[in-house]
Amino acid sequence: MWPLTFDLPAQWQVSSKTEKKRRSLQVLPRRAEDRERGDARAVFSVRRLAKRDSLQRLTQPYRSARGGREAASRIELDEKRGRVLLDYRESENVQNGLWIVRRHQKVWQLDKASRRVFEADCSANASEYKHYRQPFSSLCLKFAVSGKREQP
């Protein structure tokens, strides 16, 4: 069980995923059209924060463009709450010169006691992103870490 709480939008479903020994929760719209055309999804994951790392340090790569990712248009760091909000776009060459631009709204929440960082990454194709603003707000902006302990 994950120590996270969030508002699950109507018609969205949760599934667990393990990739490269890293567990994540994936939240997808039930409608195939939303999954295919909009490629909308929210992915929740957790990792330990290294001893020398801080939330400020984690934001550094997003302050400038790198590869297909633009510099973040929004970086909000709330040291008191241990929370970061990022908003950025990233392009990806999917096939035969076709580029897809995805917009990401990413939130990191630090559990100070365990030095774990919980990440919520809500993303969709940039051209369709406006259709998912409300569900993404419920998922990424409102997620919280509960007091329960679990090993990542």
The pLDDT tens digits of the residues spanning 34-60 come to 777 788 999 999 988 888 889 999 999
Q: What is the C-alpha to C-alpha distance for residues 112 and 22, in angstroms, rounded to an integer?
A: 21
pLDDT of residue 130: 92
Is CATH 1.10.1060.10 what the domain over 4-145 is classified as, yes or no?
no
Q: What is the C-alpha to C-alpha distance for residues 96 and 29, in angstroms, rounded to an integer?
A: 28
Those residues of the chain that have pLDDT short of 70 are: 1, 20, 147-152
pTM exceeds cut of 0.95: no
pLDDT of residue 150: 46
Looking only at the bridges linking them, the beta strands covering 4-5 and 144-145 are antiparallel
pLDDT of residue 147: 62
Residues 46 and 151 sit within 8 Å (Cβ to Cβ): no
pLDDT of residue 148: 55
Q: Tokens standing for 95?
A: 């096939």
